[in-house]
Structure 1
Amino acid sequence: MNLKKLFFSFAIFVTFAANAQTKSKDILFTIDDKPYYTDEFSRVYKKNLDLVKDESQKDLNQYLELFIGYKLKVNKAYKLGLQNGQAYQNELKSYRTQLAKNYFNDTKITQELIEEGYNRLQKEVRASHILILVDENAAPADTLVAYNKLKDIRNRILKGEKFEDLASQLSEDPSAKDNKGDLGYFTAFRMVYPFECAAFTTPKGEVSKIIRTRFGYHILKVNDIRPNRGEVTVAHIMILNPKPEDEDQNKAENTINDIYKKINQGEKFEELAKQFSEDKSSSTKGGVLNKFSSGQLSSEEFETVAFSLKTPNEISKPFKSQFGWHIIKLIEKHPVKTLDEMKFELENKIGKDERSKKIVESLNEKLRKKYKFKKETKQVAAVAKLVTNDVYEGKWQIPTTGIDENATILTIENKKVDTKKFLEFVEKQQKATAPIKPVAKLVDALFEKFTDEQLNAYYDENLETEFPEFSYVMEEYRDGLLLFDLMEKEIWNRSKTDTLGLEKFYEANKNSHMWKKRIEATIFSSTKKDMIEKALALLKKGSSPQEIKDKLNTKEVVNIMINANIFEEGNETIPKGTKFEKGVSPIIKEGEYYFATKVDKVLPEGVKTLEECKGKLTNEYQQYLEQHWVDELKGEFTVKVNQDVFNKVKADLKL
């Protein structure tokens, strides 16, 4: 699905909205006599005008070509029957479900939950807990046993026994044996909602009341409360951990220590990161990482050191994580965002959290007021007579006789819901229902839940009718999804598997894929001119790079650093003025650094092999195939443009 999201984003200028049913019925063009109207074209053009980067796409003649090309592809997809594919239908259904969530919200309740969550995000709580497991739908007797067991534990703590000792001995959380129930620091949205509420309402040093979650019964002790550390931006230099087969297992540690000595000698962190950091995603940026918050990275060691730095430009000592050796430089600390900045993010979190039940309850109440519905009391009573005590053990089955399953049991507006659906609901819910007794009361309680479910279903079924914008977006996604599947089938898969076609395309375009001049070289660098002069002298005598390092570097001071690789002309790592010719270059000064370069081999300009440019070439081949494919579609379908109508549209849009 990520690739599809990327595709829709990339192709924004051809992601068209659905046909709007307006009074304007001027036909702009037809494809095999199927009409496409001016109102859609105008609306889409205006919608995307500020989003496109290519000026040619703002030209109305060019835009019409893009629009027709898009519609031709969609027509081709329908012609191939892609709309009948199970994967397509499942994807469309999933998207509709996701989109519909926006309409199942309660603004007031949501705002209250947003404010509560934001207020809690200002703090991080460190808590320990004791858990006694009990199933959500356990029988009352089993629930009571679990509750009383935890109650006894809590009383022992209140009388003076240590929380940590009892957590280690009696908690049914498997990790408690090792961590004594300590969960570390966490903030809002990290724990299930009832547990979070207890953590943020229990005073520091005290033990909470007994709380129930879907896992069982808990008590927790709040060990500490601190302000949320917010986010931090750092730069780092990383040397990867050695591989098991590497001979020198201390190389990474020795290298990071050498770099740290260079920093303490006054050399710039950013330059050293560019030269030596093995985190290629950040090295070219001087080691700068995207900002992050507590728990966001997969290395606790890295986070601990990063957040321990206090002032900008402060640099950590070398330390080891599971990924390698690091040195961190603090760039900036970012406090927790404002409520306005976090509103959208918090709303998404609430929708995925147990607290969303409050929103559901509010919506149910509104739908009961919105729609007319009628309960058939006699039919509900008839169902109650068929439900036996087996329902409490989850063993009840729908009887085959004794009731008319087709009889209406609930009416919502003009929609009639038959008894069979309620019987199936009872059978499905019996394991997930609190054991209300007697059976008649249980059936009544289940019917209330059933009514809410059916009201929600009716509301969902009518979203397209009640909200035109919902209909438009769904139509847009429907066609966009078809287009993705079609492009994958007709273009992308072909470009990956058509090796002969790709080779032919390469031969016709290989001069567009050239290597610049390259050198196989070793670059020596130092901030001390005398040291680079000594390195140069040793080079000329035939000393190896390692021998030069051994002679010029000491345990306390790193005077020389070495970077050996193949460098292409224009590479920023190469000192400016380096001659692309075999031999040892004169000393070059750049900023605070002195460089000497030994070129072992010069690789001339030349055409890249197919393998060397395959990624870029494949993308170009895809574009080539698509361009010619649209021409083929114009021959397969009959396209007729109403030029007079188009001229009027152009005049209107240029006003």
Structure 2
Amino acid sequence: MNLKHLLFGFLIVTSAIAKAQDSSKKVLFTIDDAPFYTDEFKRVYNKNIDLVKDESQKDLNQYLNLYVGYKLKINKANQLGLQNGSKYVNELNSYRAQLAKNYLTDVKVTNELIQEAYNRSLKEINGSHILFLVDENASPADTLKAFNKAIEVRKKIVAGEDFGALAMQYSEDPSAKENQGNLGYFSVFRMVYPFESGAYNTQVGQVSQPIRTRFGYHLIKVNDVRNNRGEVVVSHIMLLKSDDKELNKKNELRIQELYQKLQQGEEFEQVAKQFSEDKSSAPNGGKMAPFSSGQLSAEEFENVAFSLSPETPLSAPFETAFGWHIVKFNNKNAVKSFDEVKADLQTKLSRDERSRLIENSLTDKLRKKYTITKNKKVYAAVEKALTEDFYKGTWTSEDVKTPFGETILTINTKNAPGRDFLNFIQASQKEALEIKPLKTMVSVLFEKFTDQQLNAYYNANLENEFPEFANVMSEYRDGLLLFDLMEKEIWEKSKTDTLGLQSFYDINKQKYQWNKRYDVLVFSSTKEDYIKKVQKMLKKGKSASEIKEALNSGKEIEVIDKEGLFEEGSTLLPKNVSDKKGLTAIVKEGNYYFISRVKDIIPAGQKTFEECEGKVINDYQQYLEENWVSDLKKEFTIKVNSEVFEQVKAEIKL
């Protein structure tokens, strides 16, 4: 999580969410005579009180202090003109564009597509295809040529010729030479939408009519349909791949050692905690979050996981692009209900090709919602201005000398000049449109131009159409300002003020201390007799590699070692390690026997600045901010209405 995310988390707690204020509002405090009201303060406090983890912030006096401090910072940011910075403006506009996507939809069509996606997600299709490439903007002649070719090949399939052989012969998908057009199993959102629809609307064993996508035409054969496999819950042990070839060889051998240990009866969870390099799952004994088909980046891992069962709960070691794994089956979950996955489906839909259907539906509604007026005189002038050079891609609006400052299109009160339409026409040459004659071309482009202007007008007025949109934008606007202000006044200073940082460290050295540390070699085994053998060999001065070579020479891995510098209190440090150098006694923890050789003991002591620089910077930032807010309180005049604040406290406690 970066600083900006942290800041906006704080903003949720301290920012006003709504602009509208009820009639009972009173002035709670002023900053340089600018009023801040009770309704805003109460709403924010009540809305966010359950999110506050620091109990001190639930105290209304402390909360008011934080709230006033926040408003002081926003005032300071505006005073410095940070709201006019290009970086700020660009990021705010970018956020608005992202937020606006939630409003630029047709709810009815969206819900229908979500339901369709869910219904399809219940099945997984094994399909093959033959691709006939044709560009999205190809001429009608080229498009018809590709279509006819697809029809001819389909006739061969219907006549009984082998689909795979024809895919190798005719498909322009390069992979067809190897897989005969077979795409394996897939479900919703795995293919472009028209292809997906073609596959789901074709019966098993049948071949579709030519399906048009942005890549060309496809013939789709459905080989099989199976029920969604649901979710599987597994645990795994993982050793990571790296750029170090020697380390990779070592890990490849180590995964086999660990597998042998598991086959000998050692607990999977304990082995995962000790040796798995997946930091997110190792502390939990290797247990992963549930996942379904297509959810992970490694298909090999998914296939192994889904192949396991209570009867065959453990996989052999296998390799993926990420490393080496051993997987243990825990259980399987049934397919989730519609309500459980609706939000996720909506997110995927917004990024998918089918979102165009939603946009088109919204545009149709906007045409009915707003008053649209076309200036026929200016439109006729545009028709005359367009020449055959358009089809060559050489026509330019600048060559048109007649002034087109007059309005050609009005949407409610917004006017679009004829020059904007001319520029739109020029830009449309890139699409290589072949519509003829020119008058028809102008008509088609004017409809597209109108759609563009409609959506732009609607988008620009979202704050007026939707109060909640205006509220969120207000919140983000202030949060972004606060981030820029903190970066300027606190964060950058804490990194560049080397003298101040060093001085802060020198004054607060007592806060930055090492616990006692142990340089230790630890051996473990589930068998007491083997750990005793390790003990004897360590006493003779044998190295870790010599011990492992001697005791793990058979089919089974009997002992495993771990070596490093461990701080006192570390869970990786066996309990019997003491302040005495040399060998410890043998100790049993759980199902494991441990023996350690303490090579060195580093006493507790002062951390150098370099060893704790990150923590010092964080603490210094907090120190600077506290002093800075105190300075702001002196710079601005703050007046709190104590009587009104007491009323607020009484109302909130009710």
TM, length-normalised to structure 1: 0.94
In 2 relative to 1, CA 148–93 (structure 1 residues): closer, same or farther, beyond 3 Å? Answer: same
Q: What residue is the counterpart of 1:58 in the other structure?
A: 58
- Please show how residues 9-24 of structure 1 align to structure 2 within 5 Å: 9-24=9-24
Q: Output the amino acid matched with 2:258.
A: I
Q: Indicate the SS of the match to 1:19.
A: coil
8 A Cα contact 1:392 1:431, kept in partner: no
Deviation of 1:572 after TM superposition, in Å, equals: 1.6
Matched, 1:348 2:343: no
Q: What residue is the counterpart of 1:5 in the other structure?
A: 5
8 A Cα contact 2:576 2:584, kept in partner: no
- Please show how residues 538-549 of structure 1 align to structure 2 within 5 Å: 538-549=537-548
Q: 1 CA distance for matches of 2:199 and 2:633?
A: 65
Q: Indicate the SS of the match to 1:30.
A: strand
Deviation of 1:193 after TM superposition, in Å, equals: 0.8
Q: What residue is the counterpart of 1:70 in the other structure?
A: 70
Q: Output the amino acid matched with 1:199.
A: A
Q: What residue is the counterpart of 1:467 in the other structure?
A: 466
- Please show how residues 410-559 of structure 1 align to structure 2 within 5 Å: 410-432=409-431, 435-559=434-558
In 2 relative to 1, CA 529–103 (structure 1 residues): closer, same or farther, beyond 3 Å? Answer: same
Q: What residue is the counterpart of 2:199 in the other structure?
A: 199
Q: What residue is the counterpart of 1:113 in the other structure?
A: 113
Q: What residue is the counterpart of 2:88 in the other structure?
A: 88
8 A Cα contact 1:267 1:527, kept in partner: yes
In 2 relative to 1, CA 538–69 (structure 1 residues): closer, same or farther, beyond 3 Å? Answer: same
Q: What residue is the counterpart of 1:214 in the other structure?
A: 214
Structure 2's unaligned 5+ residue stretches are none
Q: 2 CA distance for matches of 1:63 and 1:199?
A: 58
8 A Cα contact 1:517 1:604, kept in partner: yes
8 A Cα contact 2:125 2:225, kept in partner: yes
Q: Indicate the SS of the match to 1:446.
A: helix
Q: What residue is the counterpart of 2:632 in the other structure?
A: 633
- Please show how residues 277-316 of structure 1 align to structure 2 within 5 Å: 277-311=276-310, 314-316=313-315
Greater mean alpha carbon deviation, residues 629-638 or residues 386-395? 386-395
8 A Cα contact 2:212 2:218, kept in partner: yes
Q: What residue is the counterpart of 1:327 in the other structure?
A: 326
Q: Deviations over 1:36-83 (max 9, x none)?
A: 222222221222122111121122211111111111111221122211
Q: Deviations over 1:109-165 (max 9, x none)?
A: 111101100011112222222222222222212222222233333333333433333
In 2 relative to 1, CA 209–3 (structure 1 residues): closer, same or farther, beyond 3 Å? Answer: farther
Q: Output the amino acid matched with 2:607.
A: K
Q: What residue is the counterpart of 1:126 in the other structure?
A: 126
Deviation of 1:92 after TM superposition, in Å, equals: 0.9
In 2 relative to 1, CA 293–505 (structure 1 residues): closer, same or farther, beyond 3 Å? Answer: farther
Matched, 1:235 2:219: no
Q: Output the amino acid matched with 1:569.
A: E
Q: 2 CA distance for matches of 1:181 and 1:15?
A: 56
- Please show how residues 264-283 of structure 1 align to structure 2 within 5 Å: 264-283=263-282
Q: 1 CA distance for matches of 2:318 and 2:286?
A: 16
Q: 1 CA distance for matches of 2:399 and 2:541?
A: 95
In 2 relative to 1, CA 120–316 (structure 1 residues): closer, same or farther, beyond 3 Å? Answer: same
Q: 1 CA distance for matches of 2:651 and 2:531?
A: 71
In 2 relative to 1, CA 510–314 (structure 1 residues): closer, same or farther, beyond 3 Å? Answer: farther
Matched, 1:600 2:563: no
Q: Deviations over 1:507-563 (max 9, x none)?
A: 222222222222111112122222222221222222222222233223212222211
Q: Indicate the SS of the match to 1:612.
A: helix
Q: Output the amino acid matched with 2:104.
A: F
8 A Cα contact 2:385 2:400, kept in partner: no
Q: 2 CA distance for matches of 1:403 and 1:605?
A: 85
8 A Cα contact 2:235 2:285, kept in partner: yes
8 A Cα contact 1:276 1:563, kept in partner: no
Q: 1 CA distance for matches of 2:474 and 2:452?
A: 26
Q: What residue is the counterpart of 1:159 in the other structure?
A: 159
Q: 1 CA distance for matches of 2:398 and 2:544?
A: 86
Q: 1 CA distance for matches of 2:17 and 2:241?
A: 51
Q: 2 CA distance for matches of 1:592 and 1:306?
A: 27
- Please show how residues 375-390 of structure 1 align to structure 2 within 5 Å: 375-390=374-389
Q: 2 CA distance for matches of 1:245 and 1:142?
A: 51
Structure 1's unaligned 5+ residue stretches are none
8 A Cα contact 1:242 1:251, kept in partner: no
Q: Indicate the SS of the match to 2:234.
A: strand
Greater mean alpha carbon deviation, residues 493-502 or residues 109-118? 493-502
In 2 relative to 1, CA 301–499 (structure 1 residues): closer, same or farther, beyond 3 Å? Answer: farther
Q: Indicate the SS of the match to 1:281.
A: coil
Q: What residue is the counterpart of 2:33 in the other structure?
A: 33
Q: Indicate the SS of the match to 2:588.
A: strand
Q: 2 CA distance for matches of 1:31 and 1:10?
A: 21
Q: Indicate the SS of the match to 1:48.
A: helix
Q: Indicate the SS of the match to 1:66.
A: helix
In 2 relative to 1, CA 454–241 (structure 1 residues): closer, same or farther, beyond 3 Å? Answer: closer
Q: Deviations over 1:9-42 (max 9, x none)?
A: 2543223325335435633222223222222222
In 2 relative to 1, CA 410–312 (structure 1 residues): closer, same or farther, beyond 3 Å? Answer: farther
8 A Cα contact 1:589 1:595, kept in partner: yes
TM, length-normalised to structure 2: 0.94
